[in-house]
Chains A and B, each alone.
Chain A
Amino acid sequence: MDTLVAAAIHDAKNSLHALDTWLARARAEAPSPALEQACLLSSQINAQLVELLALYRADRGRLQLNVNDHFLADFVDDLLAELVLPAPAKVVVECDRSAVQMLGAWAFDAYLVKFVLLDALRNAARHARHRVRIELERETGGGLRICVGDDGPGFPAAVLEGATAAMDADSSGLGLAFARLIADRHATPSGRRGRVELGNRDGARFSLILP
């Protein structure tokens, strides 16, 4: 059903999966900083391919979301387990797990939202001085806010005003475009939609609000 472009992206992802398995084996046999860097790049390429595929499909009217219940605590665990940050680690990623546990489950496309947040976390880690925080809370009037905050200099004014497509100067804007797309495609029968909010408070704050 997919076009040649989509099929080519699938092929690339399959090769990447095989590469990952070999990298993991090499790392188990003889760990080295070079291998760590290779794993980091591999996971970034995978994320970019997923985002590219989603944007391509949305463009062709073929993007499909799979909204189902997911335990938020499990989701955050998976997210943090998959987050690979460049060594040496200069920032810590914090999350109040017991607060997330209390929230129970939410209905969303965990696969695509995971990539939105991995991007946000990587971006936050790049600008943070010491720490990155991920916070989840229910919105009054319905919805779930997932906020990724850092203690860096905050978003430049141009980003907050929406004057630039990307969250920082040396990015293509793929990540933010993807985040807005995925947020907007989340909807409920009562007519609410998801959205992305960017703001500054003791650093940059990226929020994804799921309906």
Chain B
Amino acid sequence: MDLRDKSGLLIDDLADMRNAMRIQLADGGLDRCDMARNVKEAVAKLTLKRYDLIVCDYALGQGADGQQLLELLRRRQLMPLSTAFLMVTGESGYEQVATAAEYAPDDYLIKPFTSATLQARLVRILEKKAALMPVYRHLPLADKRGDPEKALAACDELLAGDSRYQFDVLRLKGDLLIGLERPDEALQLYEGALQQRETPWAAVGRARALAALGRTEEASENLHKALDAYPNYLAAYDSLAALLEKSDKGAAQDVVERALKVAPSTQRTRRLGGLALENKDFARAETAFRRAVDKDRSGFFKSHDDYAGLAKSCSEQGKTKEALGAIQDMGQHFVRTPELAARQAAVECQVQAKAGNTAAAEAALQRALQLGKEARLDPNTALEVAQACFVGGRADEARRLIEAVAEDHHENVDVLDRAQSVFAHAGLGDEGAVLLEATRKRMIKLNNDAIAMSRRGELDQAMEMLTEAADRLRNNCQVSINAAAALLTHIQRNGMNMERLERARGYIDQAQRANPTHPRLAEISDLYRKVAPADASALDESGSVTEQGEPGAG
């Protein structure tokens, strides 16, 4: 393989370095090469065109770096999985690139390097991608539905053959098993890998499997040992922080602090801010959120949460003016949506109340509630409004909002945790725990009751119960899938009914939008295809893979 028939994109903010690397790529045979100077240009180019390979310098100027760009490209699916992404870095960016846990480049090179090395690395990436494509094409990623079962089967096929990429396949398979909630098999896989040789991913994988099996002590001990041996392995910090977050948020904060000493990261800075805020370490929270907000002047990587967190941490320290400034900045850095306005109003209510401005707080709360009536709010914003309700003395309204969020997201641990901290913040932690657990159990019961009903042959009742729930809970993937299953089973037993088929399709699309990586999506889609006649509407597969093996997502 060589680079002659490939197309490439070179991203570097310095003209001299761009030219030097352009020459090196041309030496390697790459003639078709576009160039971009910054994140904005790169995103524009990638929106229009697909490239076989991308060579990106870590330092991109404007406070942005290649690691952030890579994360953005993967999240927005601007780059197919078949594209090779090589990061180039000086010694100073080496740690950030080499330690990237979640959004790692395919490979990295440290300057200086020769044209031959550059070419060899790119060819190696492309060869590996081609070899692993049978697995990649089924992976559930970001917004892509994927089919974890098929991906697992592809892993096993590659493992049965004499693949040079045996350990890469094992690593992918372990992640898939954890995702599919099969931790016992994952544990076995990692133990097997570790018997052959010790390696960081398997050590951390074993700990994750142990944690998923509820063997928390062992998991934590494994992670501490892994961190002693591999103090730079960020995935170990992330897993340990996630483990500690449930029992000891102070310790979790310390672990995230340690990870940030290894390599700066906007995501971990944000996480640190959130933990510090919960731990009432407001000064630390303020510096963390301020860093998240200031880090990136290009504006591509910010989140509403950063500004909300900054406003709250300032407000708690009595810095009302700074807090209101952060709320105002929030409005200037994002597209204006009802959601944004509701978030601003809800945070303002909390800041004004803290400062003792009751009238202003009440006015802001009114605005937030009004906006919440007009638009469907995402869970973060809805919970923010609930928090404002507690502050504004409307506890019942707050409970109602939180309950609705919990019903809609009963399978989403992160959302439920956030809901719990809203209660805790209002001093109602115990009540919140009871209410959230009851809601979660009620949703599980609803699903189980419906399944039992349809087993007893009361399919009409089951169908009615589930479709009513699915119409109300549009973000609840499980309920949507079960509603579609009831409709499709009804068709299988009682004959085709186009209206029911169409409704089933709608619920599957709804489930797909709610959680594109839900483990049961592939199964329900298969059932739909089995039941639907050839001329029926196809499922919304925009995020899925086309037959040519060109993944639509990266």
Contact = CB atoms under 8 A, between A and B. Distances in A.
Contact of B24 (A13, A14, A21): A21
Nearest to A14: B90
Contact of A106 (B94, B166, B197, B229): B197
A64 B120 contact: no
A46 B117 CA distance: 16
Contacts of B116: 81
Given A13-B91, A189-B198, A105 B167 contact: yes
Contacts of B23: 21, 25
Contact of B94 (A74, A81, A111): A111
A68 B99 CA distance: 9
A93 interface: no
Contacts of B124: 74
A187 B111 contact: no
A69 B199 contact: yes
Contacts of B92: 2, 6-7, 10
Given A189-B203, A211-B198, A66 B229 contact: no
Given A50-B91, A66-B99, A105-B167, A78 B232 contact: no
Contacts of B90: 10, 13-14, 17
A146 interface: no
Contacts of A96: none
Contacts of A187: 228-230
A202 B198 CA distance: 33
Contact of A67 (B95, B117, B222, B232): B232
B201 interface: yes
A188 B112 contact: no
Contacts of A2: 92
A104 B23 CA distance: 33
A68 to B, nearest CB: 7
Nearest to A74: B124
A106 B230 CA distance: 14
Interface string B148-176: 00000000000000001011100000000
B20 interface: yes
Which one of A53, A64, A82, A189 has the greatest number of beta carbons of chain B within 10 Å?
Answer: A189
Interface residues of B, number: 40
Contacts of A21: 20, 23-24, 112
**Secondary structure dominating the interface of B:** helix
A81 B167 contact: no
B114 A81 contact: yes
Contacts of A106: 197
A26 to B, nearest CB: 12
B114 A82 contact: yes
B549 interface: no
A103 B110 CA distance: 25
B200 to A, nearest CB: 6
Interface in A104-163: 104-107, 111, 142
Contacts of B262: 64
Contacts of A18: 16, 20
B151 to A, nearest CB: 20
A9 B91 CA distance: 9
Interface in A10-54: 10, 13-14, 16-18, 20-21, 24-25, 46, 50, 53
A77 interface: yes
B115 interface: yes
A92 interface: no
A145 to B, nearest CB: 13
A65 interface: yes
Contacts of B232: 64-67
Nearest to B19: A21
Given A14-B90, A21-B24, A68-B98, A188 B201 contact: no
A211 B114 CA distance: 30
A189 B190 CA distance: 14
Contacts of B120: 77-78, 81
Interface in B82-115: 90-92, 94-95, 98-99, 110-112, 114-115
B99 A20 contact: no
A152 B444 CA distance: 75
A82 to B, nearest CB: 7
B219 to A, nearest CB: 13
A104 B166 contact: yes
Which one of B115, B164, B198, B232 has the greatest number of beta carbons of chain A within 10 Å?
Answer: B198
Given A50-B91, A64-B262, A81-B116, A189 B228 contact: yes
A98 interface: no
A20 B118 CA distance: 14
A53 B92 CA distance: 11
Interface string B6-28: 00000000001000100110000
B99 A142 contact: no
Contacts of B99: 64, 66
A190 B94 CA distance: 27
Contacts of B115: 24
A24 B200 CA distance: 38
Contacts of A71: 164
B63 interface: no
Interface string A177-192: 0000000000111101
A20 B111 CA distance: 10
Contacts of B222: 189
B427 interface: no
B94 A14 contact: no
Contacts of A77: 120
Contacts of B230: 65, 67, 187, 189
B112 A16 contact: yes
B203 A104 contact: no
9 contacts: A2-B92, A46-B112, A53-B91, A64-B231, A82-B114, A104-B164, A106-B197, A111-B94, A189-B228
Listed from nearest, the 3 A-B pairs whose CB atoms lie closest are A17-B112, A66-B98, A107-B199
Given A69-B168, A104-B164, 16 more contacts: A14-B111, A16-B112, A24-B115, A53-B91, A64-B95, A64-B262, A66-B94, A66-B232, A81-B120, A105-B167, A107-B200, A142-B198, A189-B203, A189-B222, A189-B225, A192-B198
